[in-house]
Amino acid sequence: MAVDLTLPSLPVPSPSFSTPRFPVASQLSARRSHAALFALLLLAACSDALPSAPGVPLPAPPADALAVLRCTAQVRPAVVTCAPDGAAGGAQATILGGQGVNVRLTASNFENDTAAGLFSMDVTVQNLLATPMGAADPGAVSGVYVFFYSGPASATGTVDVYQPDGEGVFTAAGQAYFHWPEVLPRNGVSQPRRWRFSVSKSVQSFQFQVYVKTELMPLLVFDLAAGGNRDIYRMAMDGSDLLRLTTHAADDRNPSASRSTVVFATFRHGKSEIYSVPLAGGAETRLTTTAASEGDPALSPDGLRLAYTSDAVVGVSKVWTANPDGTGAVRATRTSFGSDAEPEAAPAWAPTGNRLALVATASGSADVYDFALGGVPSLLAGGTTAEVDPAWSPDGTRVVYTSNVTGAGDVYMLRLSDGQVTRLTSGATAESYATWTGNGRIVYLTFLSGGGTELRWLNPDVPGSGGVIPVTGAPNRPHAVPF
């Protein structure tokens, strides 16, 4: 019989439940840091306190941890009680969810071999996120690690992890771990791993804490022409889990996403308007309702601000900002910037959410500018050629854009600290619409010589890396979803 390790979100009254033979309980509260996700804080307890060696303090919890559950289990009767144990970390970033929200551990096939002094069980990991876990790049497999943050320990005897897969440095040196060398798709369940603990005969209960650590495959949104219609799609960067988000007969284009929301431009009203749709799929919501044309929507990384272009005032496209539901719209650029006849396009948020890059013709050609909200745009990348479609790196230190300085169009990267420019692509045809993933990869669009398009990716720090992202049809305007 399997034991699901799901517990309610904090704070909760202390629940109790019965299990066959030996219990385990768990709780997740964490965030993703770069490519790694500390996805689970599981505290399986069989004593009132977690002992440590005399004079040897436990390592500090990871800063990603938001809460700890202290659970107490009695072998007879088989009852587990759990209660919050206070804040464990800084709570400085987005909460991705809990056990049963992001990931689920399930234990089964319990065995207590008193003669050998071994307690064992099979443990599986289930991915409940919308994106694959266990890899950061297509074709790579880093797998899922469950490591022992503290324990196992008992106040009445000795307990050790018996034959773990290895020992590593996660929050301290020498932490035992079990490793699933798999990529788990959305809702995928891993193969079972046998966990064994060597226990002395005097042990009636013991306690331990574990974390799950894994890499996440980035998610992309893009528009795609399929079946004679262009709609918005979501897909993992390895080409898996393709999901059509819009189905209207009119064209839907130019998506942007943040957290759980996708915004896009649609032509279903005879002109361009902005709509939103959940990243997981669902009902679409109209965000703009003016007589003007609105396009190029961009959500800030925290999902709290919307930038877009509108010709509402002067009949020429200018950059505006609004609340994420479209209310509170104001023009973002000052009227002193450029002239009424010079269009602005392609707003892109810096990761701080208080700065925008955009494309404008204020200097005579299409160039990339940036500015703090309320300030005056300054030239970021420009010249006599066209520089368009900016996108900020997740850490805000670099900006990629497209330039035709060498011909058809290539993707370039600007390092803001010293102005160094690096050419990232050099294909025979145009490459454009570069976007950064949360783990520092760049996804971009290649225009094929036969008239089609394809999505590609690269690691800007590893020359020659990357490859094609498989998708059938004619994809356009990729945007990596920040988490």
Contact assessment for residue 322 and residue 305, using Cβ atoms and an 8 Å cutoff: yes
Measured CA distances, 162 to 165, 176, 197, 342 (Å): 9, 10, 5, 70
Q: Phi and psi at residue 479, in whole multiples of 5°?
A: -145, 125
SS3 content of the chain, % helix, strand, coil (to 5): 0, 45, 55
CA–CA–CA angle 252, 258, 261 (5° rounding): 55
Percent of the chain with pLDDT over 70: 79
Percent with pLDDT over 90 in the chain: 51
Strands (E), 117-242: 118-127, 144-153, 159-162, 166-168, 175-180, 193-199, 207-215, 219-226, 229-236
Place of tokens 């890059």: 357
For residue range 289-327, list pLDDT tens digits in order: 999 999 999 999 999 999 999 999 888 999 999 999 999
Task: Judge contact between 222 and 138, C-beta under 8 A.
Answer: no
- Kindly list the structural domains of the chain, giving each domain's residue range(s) and its CATH number in brackets, ordered by start: 3-215 (no CATH), 219-480 (2.120.10.30)
pLDDT digits (tens, 9 = 90+) for 64-76: 433 343 434 333 4
Q: 185-216: buried (b, 16+ CB within 10 Å) or exposed (e) per residue?
A: bbeeebebbebbbbbeeebebbbbbbbbbbbb
103 with 30: CB under 8 angstroms?
no
Distance (Å, whole) CA 439 – CA 262: 20
* pLDDT (average), residues 27-31: 28
Residues 6 or more apart whose CB falls under 8 angstroms from that of 371 comprise 333, 355, 356, 377, 378
Per the prediction, the chain carries an average pLDDT of 79
CA distance 407 to 423: 13
Over the stretch 136-189, which tens digit does the pLDDT of each residue have? 899 999 998 888 877 788 888 888 999 999 998 877 889 999 999 999 998 999
CA 322 from centre of chain = 24
Q: Which has more pLDDT, 451 or 392?
A: 392
This prediction's pTM: 0.79
The residue-averaged pLDDT of 273-287 equals 96
Q: What residues contact 455, with CB distance under 8 A and at least 6 apart? A: 220, 222, 443, 444, 445, 446, 468, 469, 471, 475, 478
Of the pLDDT bands very low, low, confident and very high (cuts 50, 70, 90), residue 87 is very low
Q: Tell me what pLDDT residue 483 has.
A: 66
Degrees, nearest 5: CA angle 124-127-130: 175
pLDDT, tens digit, 9 for 90 and up, residues 366-422: 999 999 998 999 999 988 899 999 999 999 999 999 999 988 899 999 999 999 999
φ, ψ for residue 357, nearest 5 deg? -105, 155
Six-digit token pair at 233? 């799609």
Sign of CA dihedral 398, 399, 404, 409: positive
